[in-house]
Amino acid sequence: EQLRRRALAPLPAGMSRPLALRQALTGRWGEGGAPDLRQALVDVDRASLAAGLQVLAAALAGLRDALAQAHAAAGLVWEAETALGRVLIDLGTTDDERSLVAPLLLVDGGGDDRYHFLDDTRRPAIALLLDLAGRDHYASAAPAAGVPVGLLGYGLLWDAGRDDDRYDGADLDQAAAVLGGAVLVDEGGNDHYAARGHAQAFAMGGLAVLLDRAGDDRYEALTFAQASAGPAAVALLVDAAGDDRYRLAAEPLVAPSAQRPDLNVSAGQGMGIGIRADHLDGRSLAGGLGVLLDGGGDDDYQATVFAQGAGYWRGGGLLFDRGGQDHYQAIWYGQAAAAHAGLGLLIDRGRASDRYQASQSTSMAAAHDGALAMLLDEGGDDDYRLGDLGLGAAHDTGVALFADLDGDDRYAVSSEACRAFGAAIAEQPDGPAAVPNLGLFMDLGGTDRYGCGLARNDQRWTWPGGGDGAGFDGVAPFRLETGTVPAPAGPAAPPRPWREAPRGRSWP
C-alpha cells in the first residue's frame, strides 16, 4: 500500500478511479475541465508501481506454495475486516457460489466455484484472490469490477488448479491496468476467456500480465485486448502450451476503426498504441509495449485492424509463436505492421506449415511513416494471401523486412499493383529526401510460387522506383539462424532481496 501511494502521489489533484476509467475507455481526455489522464500517465511513478506489484505477486505465490503443504489447515474458515478491505480464508472443498465486491484477499481451498463480482465504490485499491483447485467460473457485473484489475491500484487472481475454468468480463478485466498493476495466472485446463474489451492483458500507465500455463484455451474480446499496451505501459500475455484460439471480433460494433468504420479496431494480439493528438490539442503520447507469447501448438489468430504484432504512434507490438501449424487472419495493419514510428514484429518458429491472410492492406511486414516492421517464419510449406502493401513493403519512410527461411511456400497478392515482395513506395513529396524507404523480402529455401510482380523462384529483383526495395528467393549467401540465449552454466544465483529505492530514484 505504501508503494501504491508513492506511485500515485504525483498524479493531478482530482484524478479518481471513476474518472480514470471513463477517460481510458472513451479517450475523452480532460473533458469538461476534469484532470487529464494523459498527464497522469506521464506523472505516475512507474518504478514504485512495478515494485508494489512484484511484492504482491511474490506474496501470493508464496501463499500458494505454503498452503499446498499445510494439510493440517484443510477446512479452515476465517474472516476479518481490515482497514484495507475484507479478508476471507475458506480452505474447504465444497462448490461455493459467491456474489461479492472484490475483497482485499480471498483464498478458496477447492471445489467448482462460481464468483460474481459486483460493481461497488467500496472495492479496495488492492484485491487478491487465490483459488487452489476446481472447475471455476469468474464473472464481473460491470467494468473494472473483477479481481485482476489494477485501477489506481493492484489486482491479482491466481487459479492454481488444472481444471477447465471460465472467465467472463465486461471492460477492464482479466489482467487490465490503468495507473496500476494486474496479474492473472491460470495453472492449466482448457480455459475460456471472454470480455468486451480493454482486457486479457491490457495496460495504460502500468503493467498487465496474463499467464496461462497449459491447455487448449480460447480468448475472445472485441477491442484493445490480448496484449494491448497504451502509453507508459507493458502488456504481456503468455500462453505456455496447447492449441489456442485468439479472437478479436469485428462486431458488435463498439470501437469503429478509422480504416474500416464498419469494423471494430482490434488493437491487440501484441499491440503497442500511442495517443495521437497532433490534429487535436497536440498532447500526444508514445505507445507502450504489447507482447503475446505462445509456447506452441496449432493456434488460430483472428482480428481486424491493428493486430498480431502491430505498432502505432511510437508503440511496439510483438507476437511470438514458438511452433505448430498456425493460422493468422486479419484485414488491415496486421501480422507485423506498423505506422507513425511504431514497431511491429511477428516471429513464428518451427517447421510446421502456417497460413497468413490479410484481406486488405498494410500487413505481413509493412511499415508506414517512419515505422519498422519485421515478419520471420522459420519454416514449413506456408501460404500467404495479401490484399495490398506488404510482404516486406515500406511506405513513406518506413523500414520493412520479411524473411521465410525454408519450405515450399505460396504467395498471392490480390492487388494488380502488387505492392509487395520488397516494395519501397513514396507518396509524400518530401519522403525519400528526408528518410529513404527500405523494403526487403527474402525467401531462403524451397520451391516457391508467386502470383504477381517481379518475384520469381530462385531470382533476385529490385523495386523500380520511389526508394530502396529488393527481393531475393533462393539459397542465402549467408546463414540465418534463430534461437534462444543459453542459460549460464552452474547453479543459479540466488535472487537479490528486494529493497526500496530512495524517493525519486529507481534501481537498475
What's the pLDDT at 504?
39
Q: What is the pLDDT of residues 318-333, one digit of tens each?
A: 999 999 999 999 999 9
438 to 393, 396, 401, 420, 433: CA distances (angstroms): 8, 10, 8, 12, 13
What's the pLDDT at 507?
29
Mean pLDDT of the chain: 92
Does some domain include residue 490? no
Q: Same domain for 204 and 232?
A: no
Does some domain include residue 341? yes
Residue 477 pLDDT > 70: no
Q: Could you tell me what percent of the chain has a pLDDT over 90?
A: 84
Which string of b and e fits 46-56 if b means at least 16 CB within 10 Å? bbbbbbbbeeb
Joined together, the cell numbers standing for residue 276 give 495521437
What's the pLDDT at 428?
67
What's the pLDDT at 24?
97
Q: Same domain for 263 and 199?
A: no
Q: Same domain for 59 and 202?
A: yes
Residue 168 pLDDT > 50: yes
Mean pLDDT across 299-320: 99
What's the pLDDT at 352?
97
What's the pLDDT at 69?
85
What's the pLDDT at 279?
87
Q: Identify the band that residue 502 occupies on the pLDDT scale cut at 50, 70 and 90.
A: very low
Q: Same domain for 174 and 249?
A: no
Does some domain include residue 217? no
What's the pLDDT at 297?
96
Q: Same domain for 106 and 151?
A: yes
What's the pLDDT at 508?
26
What's the pLDDT at 120?
81
Does some domain include residue 106? yes
Q: Same domain for 169 and 239?
A: no
β-bridge partners, 192: 166, 218
Q: Same domain for 282 and 205?
A: no
Q: Could you tell me what percent of the chain has a pLDDT over 70?
A: 91
Q: Identify the band that residue 121 occupies on the pLDDT scale cut at 50, 70 and 90.
A: confident
Q: What is the pLDDT of residues 125-163, one digit of tens each?
A: 999 999 999 999 999 989 999 999 999 999 999 999 999
Q: Same domain for 198 and 245?
A: no
Q: Same domain for 325 and 444?
A: yes
Omega of the bond leading into 252 within 30 degrees of 0 (cis):
yes
Q: Quote the distance between the C-alpha of residue 172 and its chain's center.
A: 14
Q: Same domain for 198 and 252?
A: no
Does some domain include residue 498? no
Q: What is the spatial distance between Cα 404 and Cα 391, in angstroms, rounded to a whole number? A: 10
Question: Any idea which of 323-327, 339-343, 477-481 has the lowest mean pLDDT?
Answer: 477-481
Residue type, 167: Y
Does some domain include residue 31? yes
Does some domain include residue 505? no
Q: What is the spatial distance between Cα 408 and Cα 287, in angstroms, rounded to a whole number? A: 37
Q: Same domain for 245 and 135?
A: no
Residue 465 pLDDT > 70: no
What's the pLDDT at 409?
98
What's the pLDDT at 141?
86
Mean pLDDT across 246-265: 97
**In terms of residue numbers, what domain contains 136?**
1-183+193-209
pTM for the structure as a whole: 0.93
Q: Identify the band that residue 482 occupies on the pLDDT scale cut at 50, 70 and 90.
A: low
Residue 497 pLDDT > 60: no
Residue 416 pLDDT > 70: yes
Does some domain include residue 503? no
Q: For the chain, what is the domain count?
A: 2
Residue 499 pLDDT > 70: no
Q: What is the pLDDT of residues 170-191, one digit of tens each?
A: 999 999 999 999 999 999 999 9
Q: Identify the band that residue 480 occupies on the pLDDT scale cut at 50, 70 and 90.
A: low
Q: What is the pLDDT of residues 3-59, one digit of tens each?
A: 999 999 999 999 999 999 999 999 999 988 999 999 999 999 999 999 999 999 999
Question: Any idea which of 271-280, 358-367, 431-440, 465-474 has the lowest mean pLDDT?
Answer: 431-440
Phi, psi of 271 (to 5 degrees): -140, 130
- From the CB of residue 92, how many other CB atoms can be counted at a distance below 10 Å? 14
What's the pLDDT at 435?
59
DSSP for 113-124 reads: -EEEEPP-TT--
Residue matched to cell numbers 480493454: 198
Q: Same domain for 236 and 200?
A: no
Joined together, the cell numbers standing for residue 169 give 468480463
